[in-house]
Amino acid sequence: MRSHERHRTVSARVRERTITRIRMRLAQVATMLPAEVAAEVRAIDAMIVDDMMIADLLGRRSVDRVRAVF
């Protein structure tokens, strides 16, 4: 929130630990869901990884510590 007030834009800085926890929770949920829905959950995880890679390319975050969850 402070970054938003400072720059007048949205800041998407989230701790790597938080992202890892979210991805782990998605992996747990995917095992309990029907195959079709689990595929959608995996797609969400893939989007998270893609977003982190883009942030890494832009120099905003390092993806070196992001573990494979699925």
Percent of the chain with pLDDT over 70: 66
Residue indicated by tokens 């800041």: 11
Q: Virtual CA dihedral for 15, 21, 22, 28, nearest 10 degrees? A: 170
Q: CA angle at residue 55 from 53 to 16, to 5 degrees? A: 80
CB distance 52 to 46 below 8 Å: no
Mean local confidence (pLDDT), 31-53: 92
Domain range list for the chain: 15-70
Q: What is residue 28's predicted lDDT score, i.e. its pLDDT?
A: 95
The structure tokens listed for 43 are: 């797609």
At 62, the amino acid letter reads S
**What is residue 66's predicted lDDT score, i.e. its pLDDT?**
57
pLDDT band at 35 (very low <50, low <70, confident <90, very high): very high
Say whether pLDDT at 47 is over 80.
yes
At CA 17, angle to CA 54 and CA 56, rounded to 5?
15
